[in-house]
Structure 1
Amino acid sequence: MSTRLEPTQIGAPTGRLSDWAIAPMHFNGFAGLPTTKGVGVESPEFSCFGHRWTLELFPGGEEGSIDGRVALWLSNETAKAIEVEFKFIIKHPNGSGPDFSRGDDGKISKFTPKGINGDAVRDVWPAIGTNNFARRSTLLGYLVDGTLIVEVHMRTNKPGQQSAPFVPENPTLQNMLKDFGNEESADVKFEVGGTVESAKGRRKRAKSPTTTFHAHHYPLRLNAPALADMCKPGDVSPTTISNVRPEIFKHLLYYCYGGKIDKDDLQSDAKDIIEAADRFGIVSLKLEAEACYVDTVELTLDNIVEIVTYADSKNLALLKEHCMDFLSSANKIEAAEKVSFDDIPSHLMKDLMVALARREGEGSGNGDTLSTMRVSQLRHLAHEKGLSVDGSREMLIDAIKENGEGGETEA
């Protein structure tokens, strides 16, 4: 039999990593910054982890950059070394495109004190970054009112601390999902399907078989108010739901219980999910499916009228904006010849003018940035104020103004 002694610590043990600290850097007028290689724009000093830092942006790249690439370098401005994990992130302004992120994930970089030469052997330097962050031409599409927003994410070790105590996360969501479809505890019931399917140029089909779903009124009341209004707890007879495929209805119920719909299902059934979510008042799911549809739909001058008319009928502001961005960037003569503007609702011409103004850089100094904000920005601002985010650009702007924001809102 042996006895194991407590471990003996020699020196201060490395602690767990801190939470990420995020420093947003706003490079205003990015399109007009000099693009000569080696010419940079340095941020003012900012503080993080007891150190002073600067971020330098090279719009035309550093001497070692590939032509057309932007360089970013983070510098330690304090006369003391520090080890941090860091990365640079530039997010797509409307959330419909990929974010740019560069950094050595999981690697702790050592920044030497300001003014101390680096050591190539040990790979330590006072300034560390990347010469080839992204193409400048691509980043021009990521500007917010002409500003390039670079987020500097940093975290460091907490020396001498023990690992964080284990605390289980709030089990409410998982417990809700475990009760999804529980027939014994369910207090409402739905019978879905059985409708006659027909479409232009297609023969009518026989009624599809119905599927019964058991659910609980409480999550429906909170997350699908229109659906909750169709039934009452304890109803003996099931509530009939027509014109919705059972697999789509199952997605909706699962979402109401806190579940996340698989990305492949969201992509393949985006329009059906939008239709059902809009019908039953599940706004957040409607917007999630809309964003997925925007990300996958291929716009052409041949289908633009059909898609923008659909977007208007379902009040899909993000999709309408996507269509107007497409029209504003299209060849004007070709668009005039191919697109039947008489078939586009006349009130959407205002959205088109906003897209054209935004593309040409107008409206950035008139004190009313709400009028040129992206739909995602307006929705985010409305959400922060507890307002509805399911509406057109005009509805969102009017609601924000009525809430006291007026015309002086900044992006």
Structure 2
Amino acid sequence: MAEQRKISVAMISEERSFELKVDEYSRAKAQLKIGDGLTSTPFTVGGHNWTVRYYSNGVCAHDTDSIYLFLRLESADAGDVKAKFTLSLLDKNGEPVPSYSHTNPMHTFSKSSAWSSELEIKRADLKRSPYLRDDNLTIRCDLTVMKEIKIEETRVAPSDLHQHLGDLLKNKDAADLVFQVGGQRFSAHRCVLAARSSVFKAELLGAMKESSAALPIEIHDMEADVFKSLLHFIYTDSVPLLETACNKGETDVVMAGHLLVAADRYNIVRLKQICDEKLCNHMDSNMVATSLALAEQHGFHRLKEACLQFLASPSNFDAMVASDGYEHLKSSCPSVLKELIARMIPSEFKSAKDVIMAI
């Protein structure tokens, strides 16, 4: 499969301020004709050249009583250039005068439209103001040029940590433990088990540390294939037998029950949740008695409630009584059977419920 790539566009900006000083304002007014202007020294922002244009007698014959200032893009080879700018007359402290400022929050300059919108200053107002000092004035342009950059993103490969740890278990590289379970031996790594299970951590890094290094550790009351699946989960965080969509038979439900007990024994929380989910979502009349006995004996409250809700149906209850697991449930957990029957009695028969629970 070809590597998937994605092109994204990010916006970056470059900012700069430039000052245009007009010395001998009166002389410039007298010398410049209508439509003639002063051009500032070019300055560079965002990789493009810019100038500020100053017109002391207007830009056309019908409007000669104002000063006009424009920002112009001078780069002949530029495409569309997005920029925001402010043209301002400065006071004696070099601060912009709000009443003599013009801001454009976003403007697109191009070959066909290289000029900005204007800052207009009435000459009569300027002459009465304190900003024309010693026949000089200062204009500042604050310019921010926006640039698009294309970023090629390569999708990061999914984590393969589980594969490496799975190979470590399979190949027994640097294994420092041996378990004896149901006549079979399993090699493992003390640090991996301790990292994944608080029970293994207490046993392998605590009182059993010395003895576990020399002799095989015997695990009783657990079948070899269950312990093998438990180790597989510890190393890979997966249980293929339970997670594959096509595996929904009784065999897998039985394995889920065994693994639920094993996960509870070694306090492996996520595996408990996976097994609990499997049992709750694949409830049937043949297995519900076994699941209910398991839930009652080990205190699996969510599984117990799912079983009781399933058996609230009379037809499911009758089928459960006829199943192979019923006798085991009746002999091992009679109290949960009484609780189930009491639930099935209508609420108005409270005395009957109390009698059943007291038997």
Q: Is the TM value for this pair above 0.5?
A: no
Higher helix share: 2
